[in-house]
Amino acid sequence: MASEIDGYTYIGQGYSVVPVGKHEGIAMNITTPQEMIKLMSDPQKIKETVVVTPGGTTTFVAPILYRKPAGIVTYAGTPESHLGIVGRNFRVPIVMTLQLEGVDSIPDGTPLLLECEGKLGHVYLK
Amino acid sequence: MTMLDEDAFLALNALYLKKMATTGDLAEISGLPCNQVQAMVGSFVERGWLLDMGGDLVIQTDGMAQVQDYYRETYSSLSQREDMRKWYARFQQINTQFIKHVTDWQQTEGDSKVQDRVITTVERLVKLIGEIEQLVPRYTGYIRRFERSSSAVDQGNRDFVCTPTVDSLHNIWFEFHEDFLAVLDRPRDT
């Protein structure tokens, strides 16, 4: 795992759901169904957004997968979960149970790069 | 707040569980006529209970409150029953197996032996649902859907294992799990 890729700095790793390579997007923290519905009403924004959400069992996250977001990062859960199964079907880059290193959180609007090439997914920020 | 009637609950609950759906999906899942569901959807949109995003329907906060109120009013006596809690413990065991089998199925690109395990686990759940069908009669709808999708898989249509855009076994299972948790008034923990 590289400490930097194309100007992005490594901030942690978690489980990769599906090996889809490197994908970039802009972080948006989503913690409520209302925030998710607001994002879903803007199809262009979804495609550029990496949804950052607390848990792998946060079921309101699932509909966003139908709209193909740039990626999803969770702080809990495993690929052997409902979110993992649906994400694998849509081949959306998902990193679950992200363990942050050197930062406490991912602020909204941060450019992210998700590297999902094996069983582990790596997250980088700019 | 006036409680939903049963048909309105069936239609709105289908969206509550599925998270995003078309009017046709809601009719198929609820077993209600399409024109009836279409009229109800129009009324739900007017009341701000759901949002119509170009045919894709998403439930709103007020709509969720309606569904949750119905669950509480209708099932509060069931949620306290020890036999229901025991039933859920048995469900959790096969839920873990089901998720593992479906994950394995995806990772083996549809291995036929793994697929047999998926179908067997669904059959176990169908039997299990049969034990509580009298307590929650609308659960026959899940049995109907599981049987239809299992037949589709048996006939070679592998999309019906876990593709999210059809009424796949995984979709039905997920919705049933959410439904039963709502009956028990419990948060999701798996």
* Segment B54-86, tens digit of pLDDT: 899 989 889 999 999 999 999 999 988 999 999
Which CATH number is A4-125's, of 3.30.70.1890, 3.40.30.10, 3.50.30.10, 2.40.10.10? 3.50.30.10
Do the interacting molecules here have an ipTM over 0.90? no
Which architecture, in CATH terms, is B6-68?
Orthogonal Bundle (1.10)
- The answer to whether the Cβ–Cβ distance between B189 and A57 falls below 8 Å is yes
- Predicted local distance difference test score (pLDDT) of residue B190: 43
Mutate to test the interface with B, among A82, A86, A90 (most CBs of B within 10 A): A82
The dihedral formed by the CA atoms of B58, B62, B63 and B66, expressed in degrees to the nearest 10: 160
User: For chain B, how big is the Rg over CA atoms in Å?
Assistant: 17
Identify the weakest region by mean pLDDT among A52-66, B38-52, B165-179. Answer: A52-66
A53 close contact with B: CB closer than 8 A: no
- Over residues B117-135, the mean pLDDT reads 97
Structural contact between residues A74 and A98, judged by C-beta atoms closer than 8 angstroms: yes
Mean pLDDT of all residues belonging to chain A: 91
Structural contact between residues A29 and A106, judged by C-beta atoms closer than 8 angstroms: yes
B20 close contact with A: CB closer than 8 A: yes
pLDDT higher than 70, residue A56: no
